[in-house]
Amino acid sequence: MHIRIINPNTTRAMTETIGTAAKNVAASGTRITATQPASGPVSIESHFDEAISAVGVAEEVLAGERSEDPVDAYVIACFGDPGLLAARELTRAPVIGIAEAAFHVATMISTRFSVVTTLGRTGIIAEHLLESYGFNHHCRRVRAAEIPVLDLERNAKVAVQRLVEECRRAKEEDNIGAIVLGCGGMADLTDYLTDAVGLPIIEGVTAAVKLSEALVGLNLGTSKHGDLAFPRPKPFTGRFESFSDLNTR
């Protein structure tokens, strides 16, 4: 089984962190490749960042579909799940966003959870996703440690301490059974935070890998009946001319 992990931002160190975390939980028969767009934001912290990165996600899925190395499932490793439905249109393989995966897993081990993310503004985006996916009644609170995403790589000691503090506040104040980490850059922190906080900590990259393995094992892929059917071929102009007359079948 081959799972392609797509980091929608362009920071190579974060892609490597995400790929390592995915490999650490993958089954022995699963091969992980981690990739990122050639261009786009170095971190994703706004609706605008997500809009730009969604194009890169689509390009990475198309690259996987056209590769001689078949891909069995894709993981979009940003907590905003940018371009998720568009990516699903481009392939029959399962495509899993890490926020959606983490929310599902959290409800399987607890009746209430909180989300601890990076910035307050991205916390609002997480709240929108909770409502869209139907998990808002399971989530007690979305909390922000108020750390820029790239601080997880560049100033890790301070960033991790702030995450510990916010997770502990969530445990004490939110009446929850689990915590969801709200950033793909936190993929390597699950064990440390679980020990430090004393609650189950769910991180979306690793959750998405295991759900991908399950879907592939069940021989389930993206439905091509309805709105997730392949896009209708048509001309694109300007910088998107390469998408003209897509041949994804």
135 and 52 housed in the same domain = no
DSSP 239: G
Could you give phi then psi for residue 233, rounded to 5 degrees?
-60, 135
167 and 211 housed in the same domain = no
Total structural domains within the chain: 2
Q: Please write the tens of the pLDDT for every residue from 16-44.
A: 999 999 999 999 999 999 999 999 999 99
Confidence bin at 248 (pLDDT 50/70/90): low
Q: Is residue 249 part of a domain?
A: no
Q: Is residue 61 part of a domain?
A: yes
Q: Is residue 136 part of a domain?
A: yes
88 and 108 housed in the same domain = no
In this predicted structure, what is the pLDDT of residue 247?
A: 73
91 and 214 housed in the same domain = yes
228 and 186 housed in the same domain = no
In this predicted structure, what is the pLDDT of residue 26?
A: 98
Q: Please write the tens of the pLDDT for every residue from 142-167.
A: 999 999 999 998 888 999 999 999 99
The rounded distance, in Å, linking the Cα atoms of 83 and 87 is 6
In this predicted structure, what is the pLDDT of residue 227?
A: 97
Q: Please write the tens of the pLDDT for every residue from 202-236.
A: 999 999 999 999 999 999 999 999 999 999 999 99
Task: Please report, for residues 39, 204, 241, the alpha-carbon distance to residue 207 in angstroms, rounded to integers and kept in the order given.
Answer: 27, 5, 36
Tell me the percentage of the chain whose pLDDT exceeds 70: 99
State yes or no: pLDDT of 245 exceeds 90: no
In this predicted structure, what is the pLDDT of residue 246?
A: 84
143 and 222 housed in the same domain = no
Residue 128: which domain range?
Answer: 99-204
In this predicted structure, what is the pLDDT of residue 153?
A: 85
Q: Is residue 80 part of a domain?
A: yes
Q: Please write the tens of the pLDDT for every residue from 47-65.
A: 999 999 999 999 999 999 9
Residue 235 CB-density burial (10 A; 0-12 exposed, 13-18 middle, 19+ buried): exposed
57 and 138 housed in the same domain = no
Q: Is residue 248 part of a domain?
A: no
Confidence bin at 68 (pLDDT 50/70/90): very high
Q: Is residue 155 part of a domain?
A: yes
Where are the alpha helices (H) located in the chain, listed in sequence order? Answer: 12-25, 47-66, 84-89, 98-109, 120-133, 151-154, 156-173, 190-197, 204-217
The rounded distance, in Å, linking the Cα atoms of 242 and 137 is 42
* CATH label of the domain that carries residue 84: 3.40.50.12500
121 and 87 housed in the same domain = no
163 and 214 housed in the same domain = no
Q: Please write the tens of the pLDDT for every residue from 166-203.
A: 999 999 999 999 999 999 999 999 999 999 999 999 99
Q: Is residue 196 part of a domain?
A: yes
Residue 38 CB-density burial (10 A; 0-12 exposed, 13-18 middle, 19+ buried): exposed
14 and 57 housed in the same domain = yes
Write down the mean pLDDT value for the chain. Answer: 96
103 and 93 housed in the same domain = no
Q: Is residue 174 part of a domain?
A: yes
